[in-house]
Amino acid sequence: MTVPTEDREALLDRAPSGVAFDGLRVDETDGEFTLETPNDEWTGLDEADLEEALAACEAYVTNWRYWQETVGGVGTARRAFLRWCERAPVADADPEANPPGPWSERGEEAAAEPLAVPERYDALRDGIDRQWGQLCITARFVDVENPDGERVYDLWHVDDADSDLADLEVYDDPRDAREIATYDADGRYRPLKTAPTLPGGWAFTGLSGDDLVETVEFFYPATVANWHRELRGNLDVDHWLETADRQTGIYDVIDELPREAVDWMAEACCVDSQCLRRREWEYEDGDDLDADGGDGPFPCREPCSLVIAAARKWAILESESERTYELELTTSELNQLEDLIDAVAEGQVDEIREADVNDGANRYRARYLRAKRFDEDGGLEATQVDD
Ligand code: SF4
């Protein structure tokens, strides 16, 4: 094996100031080179010796050139994310950060320990898959037979991971992701880009690293930057109270939402079944909400506009006083009301078959209850019994 000439020349250029990257070390003192990898060491080399020795550690050299020359951007979120994509160590991860980086005990990422260069090169020949929300990302070599270190990236919906590429709509312009992410599979507008309702049937193939990050950001805005901030231990979280306090205009009322209602709101909107961001904001610093924040790989640093808009409605509704009503229901009808609320809350209404009259949220069961218990004004026959 031979190291590409430009890679060798780039290394020789940098050797006097020392090269240390991903297990490769090259130093030069008074015209003598030292070369080191985790398994080998060569000392006292002249240029010809160095060239020969470099051929024995080609993967380390082309890996160094890809990250330092092609990707660059040391310390940026873009670089860290591309490193994560191929399970390379992310050098600027803060081990004390909470959560402790992408290889924490979080969900399926727990098994994805960083790979050393030789193992990573083996894996990149087949492609390394990572999951980011509902996105499946594959990092692979451009030239599998004779890898020169150059990587490209493929991206598709996790549900399409086993699909034939010929069955998918193939794109290569990151801006197309914005349109794909606008509507769900039923054509309904997606107001929350991180809702788990991204439609499938598409693929981006052969993207450069820059284009991959741009595409991911069109699907899930700001997720890479916030993930990177968290990784470095400097995610700036705005909790509920501080966010609510700074609202003006029609949203000025949301700071009147009772403490317990904020918990109900987080349970309604921010759990994994509704949003793939992991909620890191709480009621206020030191006062955590009971609702589960979720297990997503990317954090949510402040209540989003969808939650703010919904909070306004709940703040108005919660300003009403509670009343006691009397209405007649059989036990089965009371159970049916619970079934109806559950089915709507879980988005299961469309899954209930018309013939399944055992399900309390069945359409015919609901229509029967309405026919029986609604009065002529179209509401439940209920009587207020308090003053
Ligand atoms: S506030 Fe809740 S629903 Fe909105 S992005 Fe954050 S976790 Fe998701």
Token look-up 């207020």 returns: 384
The model carries a pTM of 0.89
Q: How far is the CA of 275 from the centre of ligand 1 (A)?
A: 6
Residue 132: strand, helix, or coil: strand
- Between residues 121 and 107, which one has the greater pLDDT? 121
| Nearest atom, ligand 1, residue 293 CA | 7
Helix pair 117-126, 58-65: axis angle to 10 deg: 80
Question: How many Å apart are CA 142 and CA 140, to the nearest integer?
Answer: 7
Position 119, amino acid:
E
Tokens of 374: 């609604």
Decide if pLDDT at 103 tops 90.
Answer: no
SS3 47: helix
- CB of 270 closer than 6 angstroms to any ligand 1 atom: yes
pLDDT at 156 over 90: yes
306 Cβ below 6 A of ligand 1: yes
Say if ligand 1 is within 6 A of residue 194 CB: yes
Q: State residue 1's pLDDT score.
A: 55
Beta strands 169-171 and 202-207 are parallel
Residue 248, token pair as written in the block = 């003006």
CB 303 within 8 A of CB 328: no
Mean pLDDT, range 209-227, rounded to an integer = 97
The confidence band for 350, taking pLDDT boundaries of 50, 70 and 90, is very high
The first and second tokens of residue 335, run together, are 């159970």
Q: Which ligand 1 atom sits nearest the alpha carbon of residue 266?
A: 2
pLDDT digits (tens, 9 = 90+) for 289-320: 999 999 988 999 999 999 999 999 999 999 99
Measured from the CB, is residue 296 less than 6 Å from ligand 1? no
Residue appearing with tokens 């904001």:
281
Take atom 6 of ligand 1 and give the residue whose Cα is closest: 300
CB burial string 185-196: b at 16+ within 10 A, e below: eeeeeeebbbbe
Q: Is the CB of 269 under 6 A from ligand 1?
A: yes
How far, in Å, CA of 78 to CA of 282, rounded?
Answer: 28
Q: Does position 14 have pLDDT exceeding 90, yes or no?
A: no
Mean pLDDT, the chain, whole residue set: 91
Is it the case that residue 221 has pLDDT exceeding 60? Answer: yes
Residue 95 confidence class, pLDDT cut points 50, 70, 90:
low
CA of 84 to the centre of ligand 1 (A): 24
Q: What is the mean pLDDT of residues 8-36?
A: 89
Mean pLDDT in residue range 272-284 = 96
- Asked if pLDDT for residue 133 goes beyond 90, the answer is yes
How far is ligand 1, taken at its centre, from the CA of residue 300, in Å? 6
Domain architecture of the chain: domains with CATH: 5-63 (no CATH), 77-230 (3.30.1360.190), 240-318 (3.30.70.2320), 325-384 (no CATH)
Q: Which two tokens stand for residue 160?
A: 């399409």
